[in-house]
Amino acid sequence: MINYSKTIVFYNIYLTLMIPYAIVAATATRLGLTAQQVTDLTAFQTAWGPTMLAYLSPLTYGRLTTAQINALYRAVKLYCDGLKQQLKNNPALTLTEADYIYFDIHKDVAPRAHIPAPTAEASVVLKAANHLNNEYRVSDIANPTKAGKPKDVKKVIVFLVVFSASATPPTHDDMREEMEVGSMNFDIPFTEDQIGKIAYVCVCFANDSGRGNMSPIIASPII
């Protein structure tokens, strides 16, 4: 069975919708994207398609194509996250509903008094360490056998840092937000230069009113 990364597969869907929307001249002008940003997004689109096809094909799937798509994912995600922040932070720009959807920008929702921030305590464990892809499972410490999210929990915030094996383990202050997921299971793609290092991961539950406490940090190998 081929171990495709769910993170990569879902990001593929995101890019195939977002980039064609963003690079349309009228949209790019309205959003204030520069000519260079449009060029960059177009280049990412050109590179992503064949790289993703090679990764998904059973005939070419393997260590090389996994390394290629993971490296491209890291580069594209870093760029697109910055672009999303640019759009969200521009006070002169009024985003449309389509903008929020295609760019996957989360609206700042005012807390609802009757739904407080999560109080459930999260934990995370490593399910499997695969080549350049680690799988994790989140649970509610109070109900560890329950598969679904606790009541009033909308999403799971994942935090990550990667250190060398000889480095001092991080504290919660060192952790950096990596992604938001709607499931109690997630995976993290890595790049070849991270092989042999240690991935430190923790999570917290969140909803529109805020976030709960960060879980204990776990260490997992990158192979």
Of the candidates 199, 158, 161, the one whose C-alpha atom is nearest the C-alpha of residue 179 is: 158
Of the candidates 200, 120, 219, the one whose C-alpha atom is nearest the C-alpha of residue 158 is: 200
In total, the chain counts a number of residues equal to: 223
Distances, alpha carbon 184 to alpha carbons 17, 71, 161, 189, in Å: 25, 25, 20, 17
Query: What's the rounded Cα separation, in Å, for the pair 16 and 21?
Result: 9
Helix (H, G, I), strand (E, B) or coil at 171: coil
pLDDT tens by residue, 139-171: 999 999 888 999 999 999 999 999 999 999 999
Indicate if the alpha-carbon torsion angle 21, 22, 24, 26 is positive or negative.
positive
pLDDT tens by residue, 88-101: 999 999 999 999 99
| Least confident residue range of 7-21, 74-88, 96-110 | 96-110
Going from N- to C-terminal start, the domains of the chain cover 6-103, 122-221
pLDDT tens by residue, 164-211: 999 999 999 999 999 999 999 999 999 999 999 999 999 999 998 899
pLDDT given for residue 115 in this prediction: 81
What is the CATH topology of the domain spanning 122-221? Immunoglobulin-like (2.60.40)
Say yes or no to pLDDT of 102 above 80.
Answer: yes
